Copies of this chain bind each other. A is one copy, B any other.
Amino acid sequence: MAKMVLLCVLVSFLLMPLASLALTQDFCVADLTCSDTPAGYPCKSSVTANDFYFHGLAGQGKINPLIKAAVTPAFVGQFPGVNGLGISAARLDIEVGGVVPLHTHPAGSELLFVTQGTVAAGFISSGSNTVYTKTLYAGDIMVFPQGLLHYQYNAGTGAAVGLVAFSSPNPGLQITDFALFANNLPSAVVEKVTFLDDAQVKKLKSVLGGSG
């Protein structure tokens, strides 16, 4: 293993002709074998057109039966070409009755293009707790400001599909239910900081695989 890592470092240097190192930085395709930095991953040395191309949103994502929906990311981890470019993508597949539960993207705003079906979407402002909701049909777009709680659910009679863009290569995705119930945060703490009832917390911890 140690040998593999050394190799990685060496290859990275060998592929990068020193003379051209600093000519320009039109782009910086992520080298995911290196540590991330606050501004994104170090740049890969050898780049082709394929680095700027992503096929993984072409088909339906893997539906999570719990939410009858799939969120398929094309963030920097899946699509290294977006590193440093201030943008990334995802695909939503929402079956009839499905929902992308209440969540935030801590590091980016979201732009949703509905390409099929009918989606009810909303976000909630901080401070005043105002709710902004729309029913979106194929062709409609909606923007969700960075860091605010929002949701989408299928409001139609057939499957819904959305293409999503983010204002960051790595926007993050924090689903409130998963943050509360899919880990080992003790039930007593969850109850204290949310005012939810003990039975409710334990029920959802059980559904989502949490402990404590």
Binding site for B on A (CB under 8 A): 1-2, 5-6, 8-10, 12-14, 16, 18, 20-28, 30-45, 48-50, 52-55, 57-59, 74-89, 99, 101-102, 104-111, 113, 115, 120, 122-134, 136-149, 151, 153, 163, 165-168, 170, 172-174, 176-180, 182-185, 189, 192-197, 200, 203-204, 207
Contact = CB atoms under 8 A, between A and B. Distances in A.
Given A35-B42, A85-B145, A122-B185, A53 B140 contact: yes
A80 to B, nearest CB: 8
A8 B10 CA distance: 11
A99 B173 contact: no
A22 B78 contact: yes
Contacts of A153: 192-193
B84 A140 contact: no
A39 B39 contact: yes
B194 A200 contact: no
Contact of A178 (B35, B129, B178, B183): B129
9 cross-chain pairs, A with B, having the tightest CB-CB distances, nearest first: A22-B77, A106-B147, A58-B139, A38-B84, A165-B165, A86-B167, A39-B39, A126-B174, A24-B127
Nearest to A86: B167
Contact of A37 (B33, B40, B195, B200): B40
14 contacts: A28-B38, A38-B40, A39-B39, A50-B134, A52-B123, A52-B143, A58-B137, A58-B140, A79-B143, A87-B165, A148-B174, A149-B174, A149-B179, A176-B194
Contacts of A30: 22
Contacts of A168: 86
Given A25-B170, A52-B142, A193 B99 contact: yes
Contact of A173 (B126, B137, B146): B126
Given A89-B111, A185-B124, A177 B165 contact: no
